[in-house]
Amino acid sequence: MQQDPDVIARPPEALIGDLNPQQAEAVQYRGPALLIGAGAGSGKTRVLTRRIAWILTQFGAWPSQVLAITFTNKAAAEMRERLESLIGPVASRMWVSTFHSACVRILRRDGERIGLKSGFTIYDTADCERLIKLIANDFNFDVKRYTPRSILARISDYKNNLTSAREMLAQYAPDFKPGQRGYRVGRIGNPEELYAVVYAEYQHRLAAANAVDFDDLIVRTVELLRACPDVAEYYHRKFRYILVDEYQDTNHAQYVLIRELAGVDAGGHADMGAVGAGRVGPAWITVVGDSDQSIYAFRGADIRNIQDFEQDFPNAKTIMLEQNYRSTQTILDAANAVIAHNEGRKPKRLWTAAGAGEQITAYAADTAQLEAHWIAAQIKRLHTDDGVRYSDIAVMYRANAQSRSLEEGLIQARVPYQLIGGTKFYERREVKDALAYLQAIVNPADDINMRRILNVPKRGLGARAESQVTLHAQQIGGTFWDGVAHADQIEGMTARTLNPLMRFAQMMQELREFAQEHDAKPSQIVAEVLERSGLLEELKKSQDPQDQSRVENLSQLQSVAAEYEQNTPDATLAGFLETTALVADSDQLPDESQDSGKVTLMTLHTAKGLEYPIVFLTGMEQGTFPHARAMEDTSELSEERRLAYVGITRAKRHLFVTRAAVRAQWGRSAEMMPSQFLDEIPADLIDWKRKEAGMERMRSGWRANASHDFGAHGGWNDDEFDAPSSFGGSSYGSRSSYGSGSSYGSRSTYGSGVRGSAAHAGKVTTRRAPVRQPAQPASSLKTDNHLRIEDFAVGDKVTHDKFGLGTVVDAQDKGRNSVITVDFGSSGVKRLMLRVAPIEKL
């Protein structure tokens, strides 16, 4: 048996001795296809790295024959690190990377075969949106009705399903030729025609700009492997073992990519008795995932990939890991109870050998500000009284917009924190500007970036000049840059425009030469660009205080380039740009080995894969979490619930759940009902520090006097009398802190009548809660539309606020939780919770 002499030899016992039987079985399994169903905290990464070491030492594979795929750079880096300590520096010879960077690597090598020149640019979402807007202008369609965002979402769907623009055109607009001017989109006809035309034109322009978007990285790699058998053959021979992490988050394109890379469909069948994957036939595949943690369906992840694994890959074996090494039984019980509410899932129960641990602590605050205040006070207390390190605490939320009030609370309490995510560094205006210069230098055909910098900094080349150049470029059949370079041929151009244009062309030419001479020193190129372009100068002389921090960001960009240069042996400018294009939020998380001394704030999505001794799950309100836009569709609601499951299982020792009764959104305050997920956690696991907010207490008191038939609206009032603090007497934040607690929050935050009348002495609830609809909070979130399931039958027509006209294809009577399934044609088939669906029967 061959073996790489550089791989540190490990006796088998060292790799499996400390594992439980299922883990050990997963590490050792010999066979063409293995699915490891890894529940949260079940030691997944450990099993994966041990299995790789096992494959190398026991199956006799070479490191270069292994491809391990993760979703984030952080996960890839962590895996590489752990492999290095297991098998030594040879780990660097393995491909351990994300889907996207693996594809970049493949495309850089052979992309020319499908028309991608090697310096290709990767467009981020903002770039893609600009491109769609350009197309929208040329085709003159209604951007209000078809927003660039929604069109891109549609195009992304097509790509995730490997539907080409050509197929779409053939079906909906056979007359359209990409690049053609003056095509009239049928104005009443179906939107599909417009999508098809824009999709095709979008791809056409990406190709002309030698650019790809994120989805293209996967799609075009599949295209390459399918179009060039010799390239596919190369990878079939090369990769004999393929391992995929977070398999539940793969979309169809990624699934096909794996199959193509492994050569599953390329013939040759696996020998079940074999000791290894050998040299021919399909590669051996290991996938790891947990269908309960699938939270990316919104971007095309298809849960069926993991559910159907056994049918998709012949002779597949499944091993379930259900023992959890992370959390207390209390936390796992809560997680199990919540996720059990999802329909149609394979039952699975996490268990632990650790004890019950502390109860879950819960708190209902009056406002988001007070919620933050309470959290900050708890963190302070944990830190000072219990000696908990700040870095052992994480605060999680559903949407980035929630971070602001939490930050303010922590600042007030002087708790150090780090915020992960939000506006990314590389998406800041000034950084994007600088990167646009670099992209335009590497790839002059990149119209989007070239246009972006034409008048940044201001050099007197506005919309007029831009359209003149565009027109000229079209006439000579070249790129935007060609138009700039030959601006002197443009008829009717004034010297006032021509001069700065020529200077711009000259400058770009010189920057290009500079870049070619210093290709291995991206940091020097960055410096030169900042200087020559005048970007830095414009910001430096600006009066706007914001521009000061912009200067700092630009200097940080230079540092990032210098760092890249030091860590990368064969550094190039194009290589640097690649790393900037593929960063994720979680990549900015510091190494867990070092104590940052800070509390971590992040979204639940970013938190996936992480763990903290103390976790705060905030904003547990209907409309916040589950998010309002996910509440009516049962499949989207299931995804929210999985997200709650992910959040709960991040906690090792102590979980806090909090909610606010009033939350400011869109500049207005809205009353929020408690999240249904709180109801789904068994009551005996929760220690409520405060169960009802002041207003709710007051109102439920009124209701109890007025009538007795409110029980149906959720059991939130049952222990109102033994809650720790009585109405109005919260230990934090008195009335006076409403609206003045933060430097941003003006009084108007709470001014929408509610607090205004509260200030005018006790007549609050009569106005707010008229007897007719006492339990209906005056928020935008209706809990009941009073539609009755009996009124709906298969075949009935309905209209939906968002999806338009549809036909009922199924109606299930489940009382309050009745669900109807409606086919909305091009918007798809939706399962809607009848009680909350914004529909009308026709």
362 is annotated as contributing to ligand binding: no
478 is annotated as contributing to ligand binding: no
The reply to whether 98 sits near DNA by the rule CB under 7 A is: yes
The reply to whether 737 sits near DNA by the rule CB under 7 A is: no
Radius of gyration over alpha carbons of the chain, in Å? 29
Q: Out of 214, 235, 309, 437, name the contact with DNA by CB under 7 A.
A: 214
Q: Which two tokens stand for residue 527?
A: 């410096």
Residues in contact with DNA, shown as a per-residue x/- string from 365 to 404 under the rule CB under 7 A: ---------------------------------xxxx---
Q: Which stretch binds DNA (CB under 7 A): 54-62, 181-189, 475-483, 629-637?
A: 629-637
Could you confirm whether 650 is annotated as catalytic? yes
Alpha carbon distance 747, 792 (integer Å): 46
Alpha carbon distance 126, 139 (integer Å): 20
CB of 501 to DNA, least distance (A): 10
The dihedrals phi and psi of 623, each to the nearest 5 degrees, come to 100, -30
CB of 820 to DNA, least distance (A): 20
Closest by CA to 457, choosing from 539, 547, 556, 546, is 539
> Within 13 A of 449's CA, how many CA atoms are on the CB side?
28
The reply to whether 585 sits near DNA by the rule CB under 7 A is: yes
Question: Looking only at residues 110 through 129 of this chain, which bind DNA when binding is defined by CB under 7 A?
Answer: 125
Helix (H, G, I), strand (E, B) or coil at 301: strand
540 is annotated as contributing to ligand binding: no
Inter-CA distances, 536 with 213, 354, 755, Å? 29, 57, 48
> Residue 520 contacts by C-beta under 8 Å, 6 or more apart in sequence?
565, 570, 571, 572
Place of tokens 């207003």: 695
The reply to whether 582 sits near DNA by the rule CB under 7 A is: yes
42 is annotated as contributing to ligand binding: yes
Question: Looking only at residues 442 through 471 of this chain, which bind DNA when binding is defined by CB under 7 A?
Answer: 455, 458-465
Could you confirm whether 371 is annotated as catalytic? no
**Residue 681, burial from CB neighbour count under 10 angstroms (0-12, 13-18, 19+):** buried
Inter-CA distances, 821 with 497, 517, 638, 805, 824, Å? 59, 62, 15, 13, 10
Query: 500 preceded by cis ω (within 30°)?
Result: no
For DNA, give the closer residue by CB, 586 or 658: 586
CB of 343 to DNA, least distance (A): 19
Alpha carbon distance 160, 154 (integer Å): 10
H/E element, 833: strand 829-833
Maximum CA extent, the chain: 86
The reply to whether 250 sits near DNA by the rule CB under 7 A is: no
Alpha carbon distance 776, 790 (integer Å): 23
The reply to whether 540 sits near DNA by the rule CB under 7 A is: no
Please tell me the count of residues contacting DNA according to CB under 7 A.
Answer: 53
Q: Which stretch binds DNA (CB under 7 A): 282-290, 470-478, 581-589, 780-788?
A: 581-589
357 is annotated as contributing to ligand binding: no
For DNA, give the closer residue by CB, 516 or 549: 549
Q: Out of 44, 50, 100, 451, name the contact with DNA by CB under 7 A.
A: 100
CB of 420 to DNA, least distance (A): 8
Strand 839-841 and strand 797-800: the pairing is antiparallel
User: Which among 154, 432, 650, 703 is annotated as catalytic?
Assistant: 650
Q: Which stretch binds DNA (CB under 7 A): 81-89, 277-285, 474-482, 623-631?
A: 623-631
Strand 95-98 and strand 66-70: the pairing is parallel
The dihedrals phi and psi of 78, each to the nearest 5 degrees, come to -65, -40
CB of 432 to DNA, least distance (A): 10
Query: 457 preceded by cis ω (within 30°)?
Result: yes
609 is annotated as contributing to ligand binding: no
Place of tokens 């290589």: 575
Q: Which stretch binds DNA (CB under 7 A): 104-112, 609-617, 739-747, 789-797?
A: 739-747
CB of 400 to DNA, least distance (A): 3
CB of 220 to DNA, least distance (A): 13
Task: Yes or no: say if 395 and 577 are a contact pair by the CB < 8 Å rule.
Answer: no
Could you confirm whether 595 is annotated as catalytic? no
CB of 744 to DNA, least distance (A): 4
Strand 241-244 and strand 284-289: the pairing is parallel
Task: Yes or no: say if 485 and 512 are a contact pair by the CB < 8 Å rule.
Answer: no
Alpha carbon distance 256, 219 (integer Å): 9
Helix (H, G, I), strand (E, B) or coil at 179: coil
Question: Looking only at residues 408 through 437 of this chain, which bind DNA when binding is defined by CB under 7 A?
Answer: 421, 429
Closest by CA to 640, choosing from 617, 672, 616, 669, is 617
The reply to whether 541 sits near DNA by the rule CB under 7 A is: no
CB of 700 to DNA, least distance (A): 28
Q: Which stretch binds DNA (CB under 7 A): 261-269, 382-390, 584-592, 816-824?
A: 584-592
Question: Looking only at residues 139 through 168 of this chain, which bind DNA when binding is defined by CB under 7 A?
Answer: 144, 147, 149
For DNA, give the closer residue by CB, 252 or 398: 398
159 is annotated as contributing to ligand binding: no
Task: Yes or no: say if 228 and 111 are a contact pair by the CB < 8 Å rule.
Answer: no
For DNA, give the closer residue by CB, 449 or 497: 497
630 is annotated as contributing to ligand binding: no
Could you confirm whether 488 is annotated as catalytic? no
For DNA, give the closer residue by CB, 58 or 603: 603
Strand 360-367 and strand 651-665: the pairing is parallel
For DNA, give the closer residue by CB, 399 or 562: 399
Q: Which residues are annotated as a binding site for ATP?
A: 38-45
Q: Which residues bind DNA (CB under 7 A)?
A: 71-72, 98-100, 125, 144, 147, 149, 214-215, 295-296, 298-299, 398-401, 421, 429, 455, 458-465, 497, 582-587, 603, 605-606, 627, 629-630, 636, 664-667, 744-746, 748-749
Catalytic residue set? 44-45, 245-246, 293, 650
**Residues that constitute the known binding site:** 38-45
